[in-house]
Amino acid sequence: MKERIERLKKLTYIPQKEIAWLIEQAELSVKQQEILEENKRQQDVTVHQFRQAQKDIQQLSGDRKRYKQALEKIITNLNFAISVAQNELEGDAK
């Protein structure tokens, strides 16, 4: 391709065949640029989705921790209430 470009630079008259080749190369270059831009856009979307997923995971982990702590407190309170009720029942039975 470089050789062809150098040969074209030296010509004062450019044959139709060479013009067609230049047009084809320009069209290919435009298509490649469009593909690169689309790939970049898709990469940006993927990065954004990944970062959002990371934030969601962190938030869910924090929620899970808080729910677990709340559930442990409820279980502790229920166990205490059961112990009190058992003691009262035992006290009433004596």
Q: What are the tens digits of pLDDT across the range 51-85? A: 999 999 999 999 999 999 999 999 999 999 999 99
Average pLDDT value over all residues in the chain: 90
14 Cβ neighbours under 8 A, 6+ residues apart: 8, 22
In a domain, 9, yes or no: no
Least confident piece of the model among 4-8, 16-20, 82-86:
4-8
In a domain, 52, yes or no: yes
Q: Which amino acid is at 74?
A: I
In a domain, 2, yes or no: no
The model's pTM is 0.55
The total number of structural domains in the chain stands at 1
Run of H or E including 73: helix 16-93
> If you ran DSSP here, which 8-state letter would residue 14 be given?
-
In a domain, 88, yes or no: yes
Domain, as residue range, for 75: 17-93
Distance CA 34, CA 44 (A): 15
> Which pLDDT belongs to residue 93?
67
